Amino acid sequence: MKIIKRDGSEETFDASKITAAVSKANEQADPGVRMTKLQIERITESVVIACEELGRSPGVEEVQDMVEHQIMAHGAFEVAKLYITYRYTRQLVRQSNTTDDKILSLIECSNEEAKQENSNKNPIVNSTQRDYMAGEVSRDITNRILLPKDIVDAHNEGIIHFHDSDYYAQHMHNCDLVNLEDMLQNGTVITGTLIERPHSFSTACNIATQIIAQVASNQYGGQSISLTHLAPFVQVSREKLYNDVLEEAKSVGIELTGETARKMAENRLLEEIRRGVQTIQYQVVTLLTTNGQAPFVTVFMYLNEAKNEQEKKDLALIIKEVLLQRYEGVKNEQGVWVTPAFPKLIYVLEEDNITEGSEYYYLTELAAKCTAKRMVPDYISEKKMRELKGDVYTCMGCRSFLTPDRFTDAGIGNIARAKNYEPGKHKYYGRFNQGVVTLNLPDIALSSGGSMEKFWRIFDERLDLCYRALMCRHKRLLGTLSDVAPILWQYGAIARLDKGEPIDELLYHGYSTISLGFAGLYECVKYMTGKSHTDPEAKPFALRIMQYMNDACKKWKAATDIDFSLYGTPLESTTYKFAKCLQKRFGIIEGVTDKGYITNSYHVHVTEKIDAFTKLKFESEFQALSPGGAISYVEVPDMQNNIEAVLQVMKFIYDNIIYAELNTKSDYCQKCGWDGEISIEEEDGKLIWKCPKCGNTDQSTMNVARRTCGYIGTQYWNQGRTQEIRERVLHL
């Protein structure tokens, strides 16, 4: 069994240290109230058993809490007092250098929690370490100076999660939809260099990757671009290549007919599209931004976003090439094709690509093959999104959705001063999210002790806490000058404001959103009703909880003119943190706190047996009540030889749910060449990844890709998330 030290490093659990610590406190007590040697041994045994029952590595503070509890359980209150006093004294000493210790542990790569914080960051490389080091300093300033103490305490206790506190000290926002069309068509500026409208598709792709890198380095969340914004440059290249062919033929004395020249130009065009798409694919996966990871970018593929039929056909050419290249994958260091994490792909299911025989059904078949092998694209239903949101547009990053445009209908106008603004037309590109604070729903339930009256009272208190925390995020952005990130605020990615101009106007009127996140609906309902929220008797309570949070967002929006929106949080490392906090405060409760994770958002518990279609249909009701962001998934086996089943799931998504994905596995062992599923096994109380063929456990010599939070991770996960991945049941 391992133990997590205060600096985040990990070492072997040593029970003798418990015995020694209790013995020291015991020796300082008056002889008449001291414990016996046998009592001290029993205390140690009880703590060891409690740690083993956690099913994960305990933290030092957790172990010390258990020791205190056991000393008092033996009636040795004087010894307990001395032990607590010693702990407090040591805490005062540590407070002066906690941040220093964490930074040093990051540099030496001994901080296990940091290693597993982000499944797409390699904590060993210098760029990631610098980001983490800066993050620790920022988090320290945030906790000591910038945030109210009750919000900091609630975050530390796992009552809420104040996301990305390591970026809060700076005036940075979360995620956005890049207005790539404006930047390409009307020019932009990158690091002081004017970038004019490109004269070819390949150049447009190259510029797009530079924009992606710049945007990623000036925010802390994901960004989305649309392939539709690249489509017009296909025609630009087509015309250029046609003229080039005629000129080349003329230069060697050959007369070509227009038809022949067009065919030759079209062949060259397809090659240029291939190269351009390859540029985006390889640039995105090889670029490292200032936060130590590849840009977290989503590529949106929506045929009906095209402005005319020719543009739509050209867009289809790009989509086809993107899917073909993603199906192929990228080569790892040994030259083997593997699954990359980014760019994330979203394919819109629409009327002319969802039915067999429709014009673009061939693209849907290709998307199905790509999903079966590489886990992407994910799918948005044009039908359901129009029905529930009124418009069709991509999410930001992994699942965060903007609220439908209301400022255009209100006549507020072009407040971002975009050069591609069309009066009266709804606007989505150039909009963004201000930040997220997530509510731990199981904590509300457990704090209520099962009393419904107390549950709703505590719920109100926690919602108020979240509101104040979200307003801290909003106020941190107020007064931000456009100069802090020119690519975003001055040169078109979000806006074209003047130098020295504050971004304040973009924080209101629904131009941007701010998100109330939630997690653990299953565990919350399970504790309060004794049933899963899939049970017909418990489902109304679960839906009432969802509506209650939506009503709170609606009330806050009316009071502030800020678009608060309910967001199904994609917990990554936080799922483990919340689980540990719940265990610490409430102990191990079967079906509620007995895992090293809690369930993401409204999802059906990963261990619950349910078929794919029933799951998607059930979750669609909850997704509709999570308008600020949500994604549902079905866990499937290797589907490469059953593409028809994949297509059936896709058609079901089209008819029933806004946004969903299929999860499979895509692994490779570099030591023996195994290309099946890398297994998760327990050794010495810790979950490890192990090749079933050669027994390799060296993560640096494996390529493992798993979807955890709506996006694919490739750098491994903490123990809680690893347990969740291990326990997933198949839905198909």
Residues with a known catalytic role: 174-175, 396, 398, 400, 433, 567, 572, 710
Query: ω into residue 377 within 30 of 0, thus cis?
Result: yes
Answer yes or no: are the C-beta atoms of 213 and 282 closer than 8 Å: no
What's the token pair of residue 256? 């070509």
Cβ-proximal residues to 239 (8 Å cutoff; 6+ apart), any chain: none
Q: Is the distance from CB of 229 to CB of 305 less than 8 angstroms?
A: no
Closest CA relative to residue 261, chosen from 274, 250, 270? 250
DSSP calls for 644-703: HHHHHHHHHHHHH-SEEEEE--EEEETTT---SPPEEEEETTEEEEE-TTT----GGGEE
β-bridge mates for residue 348, sequence order: 380
In sequence order, what are the residues at sequence separation of 6 or more whose Cβ sits closer than 8 angstroms to the Cβ of residue 404? 389, 390, 391, 426
Integer angstrom CA distances of residue 254 from 246, 257, 259, 655: 9, 10, 14, 55
Other CB atoms closer than 10 Å to residue 422's CB: what's the count? 10
Q: Hey, what amino acid is at 274?
A: R
Query: What 3-state class would DSSP assign to 622?
Result: helix
Annotate 551-617 with three-state secondary structure: HHHHHHHHHHCCEEEEEECCCCCHHHHHHHHHHHHHCCCCCCCCCCCCCCCCCCCCCCCCCHHHHHH
Q: Could you give phi then psi for residue 484, rounded to 5 degrees?
A: -65, -25
- Picking from 120, 89, 114, 117, the residue whose alpha carbon sits closest to that of residue 101 is 114
**The token pair that represents 171 in the structure block:** 């005036």
Report the alpha-carbon distance of residue 306 to residue 313 in Å, rounded.
Answer: 9
Assess whether the previous peptide bond of 627 is cis (omega < 30° from 0): no
CB 13 within 8 A of CB 2: yes
Burial of 629 (0-12, 13-18, 19+ CB in 10 A): buried
Angle between helical axes of 258-286 and 232-251 (0-180°, round to 10)? 130
Token duo for residue 84: 């607590």
Neighbours of 357 (CB within 10 A): 5
DSSP string, 113-152: HHHTS-TT--TTSHHHHHHHHHHHHHHHHIIIIIS-HHHH
The whole-angstrom separation of Cα 340 and Cα 141 is 35
What type of residue is 552? A
Q: Tell me if 515 sits within 8 A of 433, measured CB to CB.
A: yes
How far, in Å, CA of 192 to CA of 519, rounded? 43
* Interatomic CA distance for residues 100 and 67, integer angstroms: 27
Neighbouring CB atoms inside 10 A of 498's CB total 11
297's torsion region: left (phi>0), alpha (psi -120 to 50) or beta? beta
Buried b (16+ CB within 10 A) or exposed e, 704-714: bbbbbbbbbbb
Structure tokens at 655: 């008819």
Q: Which residues of 8-26 are buried (b: 16+ CB within 10 A; e: fewer)?
A: bbbeebeeeebbebbeebb
